[in-house]
Amino acid sequence: MTDVTLTINGEERSASVPPETSLLRLLRDEFFLTGSKLGCDVGDCGACTVIVDGLPVNACLMLAGQVDGRDVVTIEGLATLEDLHPIQKAFEEFASLQCGFCGPGVIISAKGLLDRNPDPTKEEIKDALSGNLCRCTGYTKMIEAVQDAARILRGEKEAA
């Protein structure tokens, strides 16, 4: 068994799991944070994207042991009791998600981008989302929503 202690969405959490456990399984099976999805388990689809120490990664490709002592943000860590995160709000307003299965991963990738680059071009947004497969939407409304959320986060637009 591997002992891990990490910060998830600002809370320190510990678990003891078999050494082959991925970060994704750790989140889903040990901590019941099922927002991160399993779409392929081999790093192809991005449904499992979470932020580790500020950077988006595929949680299915990381071992639980590798995140010991690190900081993880999952989709569950974005909203507050008062409000949705601006990206989540924009995704809702633009109907950017259809079946929604890719959504948590896409939104986390978008957050990873906007945290580093508050004013991305359309090409930069496409680039940031290129590791997140979506079969339903054609990505168009996602890109529009990320642009809108960026405007709100930069303070150029009032949140609805």
Partner 1 sequence: MKKRGKGMGCMWYPIGFTVMANPSAATVKVNEDGTATLITGTVETGQGSLTVLGQIAAEELGISTDDVHVVSADTDATPMDTGAIASRTTYVTGNAIQLAAEKAKNILFDVAAPMLGVRPDQLEAKDRRIQVKGFPQSCLPIGEVAAHAQNGAGTPALGSASYNPPTVAMDPETGQGKPFSTYVYATQIAEVEVDEETGEVEVLRIAAAHDCGTAINPMLVEGQIQGGISMGVGMAIQEEMLFDDEGRQINPNLTNYIMPTSLDMPDLEVDIVENFDPTGPFGAKGVGEPTAVATSAAICNAIYDAVGARIYNLPATAEKVLAAIKSKDHSDRQKYLPAG
Partner 2 sequence: MTDDVKVADKTDSLTDLKETDEDLRLPSVVEPAHFPVETIDTEARHQTPAVGQRATRPDGRLHGLGQTKYIDDITFPNMLFAKMKRAGISSALIKSVDTSEAEAMPGVAAVLTGREIPVNSYGPSYQDQPVLADERVFHAGDPVAAVAAVTEQIAEEACERIKVEYEPLEPVYDPVEAMKDEIRVHPPHSNIYATKRIKKGDLEKGFAEADRIFEGVYSTQMIEHVPLEPHASIAQWDPNGRVTLWSSLGRITLGRADIARTLDMPINKIRIVGTIVGGNFGGKNEITTEPALALLSRKTGRPVKMVYTREEEFIASTTRHPFIMEYKTGVTNDGMITARKVRLVLDGGAYCSWSETTLGKACILSAGPYNIENLLAEAYCMYTNKTMTGAMRGFGAPQVCFAYESQMDEIAHKLGIDPLELRMKNAFHEGSASPTGQVLQSVVVKDSLEKAAERFGWKEDGQ
Binding stretches for ligand FES (CB under 6 A): 38-41, 43-48, 58, 60, 97-102, 134-137
Distance of closest approach, residue 140 Cβ to partner 1, in angstroms: 4
Residue 82: CB atoms within 10 A of its CB come to 5
Which residues here bind partner 1, judged by CB under 8 A?
40, 42, 44-45, 94-95, 98-100, 125-127, 129-143
Secondary structure letter of residue 62 according to DSSP = S
CB of 8 to partner 2, least distance (A): 9
CB 60, min distance to partner 1, A: 12
Which among partner 2, partner 1, ligand FES, none contacts residue 144 (Cβ within 5 to 8 A by kind)?
none
Rounded to whole angstroms, what are the CA distances from 75 to 108, 109, 154? 6, 10, 21
DSSP code of residue 127: H
